[in-house]
């Protein structure tokens, strides 16, 4: 491991930072302050990154990117000690992902899938899966496919269809 440059912070861990962040309003300063962070997510020697969180009934569903798979954790309290992850067999992905509670109250996973892609590429097309109450994935469908849309670009440059503006701002009330 190389030494950290002076004055520079870095994370040299196989754990993902928690997606659970708590904010409280400071009336004196008239702004929200970050007051609590959930635990790091750990999968042993498997590196985790890019965690997402969504409210799932009385629980919270947390997902994190791992090498070739997506790990998921279900917990009542995202600020309590982290539980051990489970890994979905599909999608086969090392690309970014997002787990999101959509407007129709269905939690969905958005990412690529190298095994499902005709291009054998995990960043094109972008797929969506419904996540059921038992945390199984169903109903995979294409959100955007650069080949199908015939993007005017050189094919020697592989497009990365990750997350354009698909989601509303987080933290907005659902009432």
Residue 171 in this model has a pLDDT that exceeds 60:
no
Q: Are 30 and 49 in contact (CB under 8 A)?
A: no
Residue 63 in this model has a pLDDT that exceeds 60:
yes
Q: What is the reported pLDDT for 109?
A: 93
Hey, what are 69's tokens? Answer: 């798979």
Kindly state the helix (H) or strand (E) to which residue 124 belongs, with its residue range. none
Q: Are 97 and 52 in contact (CB under 8 A)?
A: yes
Residue 165 in this model has a pLDDT that exceeds 60:
no
Q: What is the reported pLDDT for 18?
A: 78
Task: Give the sign of the dihedral formed by CA 62, CA 63, CA 64, CA 69.
Answer: positive
How far apart CA 124 and CA 114 sit, in angstroms, is: 8
- pLDDT tens-digit series, residues 111-127: 989 898 888 888 888 99
Residue 21 or residue 162, greater confidence: 21
pTM (two decimals): 0.79
HSE of 16, CA atoms in CB hemisphere, 13 A: 26
């Amino acid at each position: 491991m190389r030494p950290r440059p002076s004055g520079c912070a870095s994370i040299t861990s196989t754990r993902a930072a928690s997606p659970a962040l708590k904010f409280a309003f400071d009336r004196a300063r008239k702004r929200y302050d970050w007051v609590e962070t959930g635990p790091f997510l750990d999968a042993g020697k498997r590196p985790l990154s890019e965690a997402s969180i969504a409210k799932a009934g009385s629980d919270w569903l947390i997902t994190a990117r791992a090498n070739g798979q997506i790990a998921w954790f279900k917990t009542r309290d995202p600020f309590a000690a982290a539980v051990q992850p489970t890994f979905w067999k599909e999608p086969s992905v090392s690309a970014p992902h997002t787990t999101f509670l959509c407007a129709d109250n269905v939690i969905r996973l958005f990412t690529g899938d190298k095994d499902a892609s005709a291009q054998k590429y995990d960043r094109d097309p972008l797929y969506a899966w419904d996540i059921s109450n038992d945390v199984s994935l169903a109903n995979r469908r294409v959100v955007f496919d650069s080949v199908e849309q015939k993007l005017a670009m050189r094919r020697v440059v592989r497009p990365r269809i990750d997350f354009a503006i698909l989601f509303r701002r987080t933290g907005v009330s659902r009432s």
